[in-house]
Amino acid sequence: MLIDSDSFLDIPPTAQNLYFHLSMRADDDGFVNSPRKIQRMVSAADDDLKLLLAKGYIIAFESGVIVIKHWRMHNYIQKDRYKPTIYQHEKSLLEQGENGMYTECIQDVSTLDTQVRVVKDSVGKINILCAPDELAHNPSPLKKGKNTSEKPKTCKHKYGEYQNVLLSDGELDKLKNRFPDYQERIERLSGYIASKGVKYKSHYATICN
């Protein structure tokens, strides 16, 4: 389980306590609408909430709502008792992996243009989110009057301890097939990016090299 992992047990007890309280107050889809209030109730510091974000234990939205990233991996609710979250807009910005883990829909950073919605959440984390429906109705002002054919955007997900390695599902599958130690390679790159602040056009190509 996540809470038994070395990574989780290494974070301060106050951050662990905040995570437990957020999880206890989440709805049936793992969403919490008052993380700041809960933080104050349990006397947790701002850094505790920021650490949970940085470590990828929660995902925050510009509305102030957060979601427990691994909620569906550790919680099962019977269908006759399940109540869908009321935060459907926030849920639409997420994808759910085969293991149930929530991931943000991240646009391919090699093709970023003005059709990207950059949002800053309530605790200062910046997310680049795909918004296909919104973009269809609100094209970039720079592209008005131009008859261009847009290529579909490839959504990439965050991996690594610092959630800073961006890979598409196809790229991850290719890494799994090529490298038995693909997880170790991802973690090495994640740590290097976090410590050096470097940027790469393709994280997949960097791992392969």
The CATH number of residue 28's host domain is 1.10.10
Structure tokens at 35: 């993380």
pTM: 0.53
What is the tens place of the pLDDT at every residue in 8-57?
999 999 999 999 999 999 999 999 999 999 999 999 999 999 999 988 89
Q: Is residue 65 part of a domain?
A: yes
Mean pLDDT confidence for 107-113 = 41
Structure tokens at 7: 């990574």
Average pLDDT for the chain: 79
In this predicted structure, the answer to whether residue 161 has a pLDDT above a threshold of 50 is: yes
In total, how many domains does the chain have? 2
- Classify the C-alpha dihedral 166-167-172-175 as positive or negative: negative
CA 164 to chain centre: 10
Q: Is residue 69 part of a domain?
A: yes
Q: Is residue 67 part of a domain?
A: yes
Mean pLDDT confidence for 115-121 = 43
Query: What residues make up the domain containing 58?
Result: 2-94
Single-letter residue type at 117: R
- Provide the 8-state DSSP code for 3: G
In the numeric block, the tokens 């609408």 are attached to: 33
In this predicted structure, the answer to whether residue 124 has a pLDDT above a threshold of 60 is: no
Q: Is residue 126 part of a domain?
A: no
Tell me: do 83 and 164 sit in the same domain: no
CA distances to 59, 88, 137, 200 from 94, rounded to whole Å, are 9, 10, 20, 24
Q: Is residue 152 part of a domain?
A: no
Q: State which of 71, 94, 117 marks the end of a domain.
A: 94
In the numeric block, the tokens 């949970």 are attached to: 52
In this predicted structure, the answer to whether residue 143 has a pLDDT above a threshold of 60 is: no
pLDDT tier for residue 162 given thresholds of 50, 70 and 90: confident
Q: State which of 76, 94, 112 marks the end of a domain.
A: 94
Q: Is residue 25 part of a domain?
A: yes
CA angle 17, 18, 19 (to 5 degrees): 90
Q: Return the SS3 of 34.
A: coil
Per-residue pLDDT, 178: 87
Q: Is residue 16 part of a domain?
A: yes
Q: Is residue 57 part of a domain?
A: yes
